Amino acid sequence: MVTGDDRRGPVPDNPVIVALDLATAEDAVRMAKRVLGHVGGFKVGLGLLHGPGPLTVPAIVDLGLPVFVDAKLHDIPTQVGAAARRLGRFGTRWMTAHVSGGEAMLSAAVEGLGETSDGWAGVLGVSVLTSLDGAALTAVGVTTSPGRLVSRMARVAAASGCEGLVCSPHELNVVGTVAPGLLRVTPGVRPVGVADGDQLRTATPEEAVRRGAGLIVVGRAITAADDPAAAAATIAESLLELAMDAEEAGR
């Protein structure tokens, strides 16, 4: 078992991570600058990593907020470890790897990323994609429900030394029960009135945070808005009010 590293960077108070799923690195940097004062960090996904390339990451890191590299690594441990080492050099705060690759693969990711980030970065295990539901899993031979599958995956991620787990809002509670030490990160977040798109297991930002999300990933609801900065600010303000209400209730 690989343990976590107490040198890991902080988790932002503002849980909103903007998915910069845009066509070019220039577009991504431009969007990041527009919303900079209203979010907690940024996500660089597969479209940018396999298009403009991983050098997009340091360009976003230079803006001063943590960057979540959604590489979704899934290969034999040696290959995943090598990829994690490379990504760690770019200043990433979090990097993703599929839990379905197994404990040895995740441990290799944790070790590789830790080596080149001096322990500052952490691996987020990807559980069941939010675009999948029970019927979609059954179609590929997985008869376990999404909730039970995520529960098992959370235990594997924790045993591998992952800092957190990526899951849908629907599984946040079960992850908190079986692996309370994991940072819970959820995509599939849609403010009221925003279409779900290709996401099947979704929730509003407020619902996700109430269920225990430490970070919420929001993409098109911000980046496709007429005023991305205003959209990001509205979400951040609603979550700040939620936190203040919870603090007041706890007194």
Report, as residue numbers or ranges, the catalytic residues: 72
Say which residue the tokens 């069941």 belong to. 128
Measuring CA to CA, which residue among 34, 152, 57 is closest to residue 102? 152
Measuring CA to CA, which residue among 95, 147, 148 is closest to residue 126? 95
Give helix 77-88 / helix 103-117 axis angle, nearest 10°.
20
Dist CA 173 CA 94 (whole Å): 22
Dist CA 146 CA 134 (whole Å): 6
Dist CA 51 CA 201 (whole Å): 28
Dist CA 180 CA 157 (whole Å): 12
Structure tokens at 90: 């770019």
Measuring CA to CA, which residue among 221, 230, 179 is closest to residue 203? 221
Dist CA 40 CA 18 (whole Å): 8
End-to-end CA distance of the chain: 39
Is 165:153 a contact under the CB 8 Å cutoff? yes
